[in-house]
Amino acid sequence: MQTDANTAPSPARIGFVAGARVAVGTPALVLAASYVGFGGFARDNGLGLDLVLFSTLTAWALPGQIVMIELYAAGAPLVAIALAVALANLRLAPMSTVIMPVIALEGRPAWRLYLAAHWVAVTGWALTMLHGPGRPRAERLAWFMGCVLTLWAGSLIGCILGHLAAGIFPRPLSLALVFLNPVYFMLLCLQDLRDRQRLLSVVMGGGICALLHPVLPGWSLLLAGLGGGTAGFLLARWLR
Amino acid sequence: MTWSPSEAYMAALIGALATYLWRGFGVAVGSRIDPQGRFFAWLSCVAYAVLAALILRLIAFPAGSLAELPATARIGAAVLAAVAFLLLRRNVFLGCVAGSGAIAVAASMP
């Protein structure tokens, strides 16, 4: 970090502050709002605030966190939970691969990147991919950390507010709060359905889940994901 | 349903490990796998299928108090949200307001 207090601020400090500044407005608010929904959803499924915060600190990837609660509430075995959460968060792998060359500084130990990878999630990733390449290389990892730690803090505050609100709100409002995450994900998914491969995967995944859920509630998510995704992938290639 | 604290923490911890796995994997494979290639394209299809299945479960077969509302109210609210989203210049915020608003209205009816 800073080697001499009398010299100009280090690149790390400049990067960290600049990243935090980009995150602190709309991005942090939007993320906080979705975690308000998560806090309400989690409370509705019997989770205490401690667990909500624990999950957001350690996982911090909303679809997987919701899968975890959904399956746990359905009484699914832990193996099914682990596999389904992993499938729901698959997108993090290519995102992580793509962002590392942007924030890596040659000659620095790799553990720093493995640590930074914990905060790879959609919002911070998109902001870093947008702003990162325009910054000096020495600032980039710190820029990313400033950005994602700000978003992370916003998420935790959202969790607390949502969890509290679900206990205070009258029933119609708290149901609306619980419904916020499902509807938010549905619209995000709808927004993303540009190519045929995704569309087919979504249709197949939803269809398989609808058929399997009444018979195998603990495993329907996993089987619908693997089966529907593979079917969508192959069908789109075959149709081309 | 009530959870024993240790079981719930175990589920959350397993969820967190399953999540970090992909982040770490992404760093480890680095430039050896092409992010635009066939392998990641398949992964992305699976991720979208899981997401679709999750959304379907949350709306059609909810575990919590949303189950107290009739299925027609939940599905109707989801359809309304999608229609509002498409009509209002694909605005996610307004779509969410429409969907959650419809749920609040449905829950207020005697």
ipTM of the assembly? Answer: 0.89
Decide if A233 and B45 are in contact by the 8 Å CB cutoff: yes
Same domain, B19 and B45: no
Share of chain B above pLDDT 90, in %: 64
Same domain, B108 and B81: yes
Backbone CA torsion sign across B105, B106, B108, B110: positive
Residues 6+ apart with CB under 8 A from A223: A208, A212, A216
Same domain, B39 and B25: no
Same domain, B28 and B42: no
Rounded to 5°, angle at Cα A38 from A36 and A43: 100
Same domain, B70 and B83: yes
pLDDT tens digits, one per residue of B81-107: 999 999 999 898 899 999 999 999 999
Same domain, B38 and B71: no
pLDDT tens digits, one per residue of B28-48: 987 677 777 888 888 888 888
Distance CA B19, CA A38 (A): 17
* B67 interfaces chain A, CB cutoff of 8 Å: no
Same domain, B71 and B106: yes
Decide if A187 and B92 are in contact by the 8 Å CB cutoff: yes
Decide if B53 and A225 are in contact by the 8 Å CB cutoff: yes
Are the CB atoms for B57 and A220 separated by under 8 Å?
yes
Burial class (CB in 10 A: 0-12, 13-18, 19+), A224: buried
CB interface of B with A, residues 5-24, below 8 Å: 5, 8-24
Q: Using the predicted structure, report yes or no on whether residue B1 has a pLDDT greater than 60.
A: no
Same domain, B80 and B101: yes
Same domain, B108 and B77: yes
- Min Cα separation B43/chain A (Å): 6
Same domain, B106 and B92: yes
Domain that holds residue B40: 33-63
pLDDT tens digits, one per residue of A56-89: 999 999 989 999 998 988 888 999 999 999 998 9
- Structural domains of chain B, count: 3
Residues 6+ apart with CB under 8 A from A27: A123, A124, A127, A151
CB interface of B with A, residues 35-64, below 8 Å: 35, 40-64
Nearest CB to A175 within list B15, B18, B65: B65
* B79 interfaces chain A, CB cutoff of 8 Å: no
Same domain, B10 and B42: no
Same domain, B3 and B27: yes
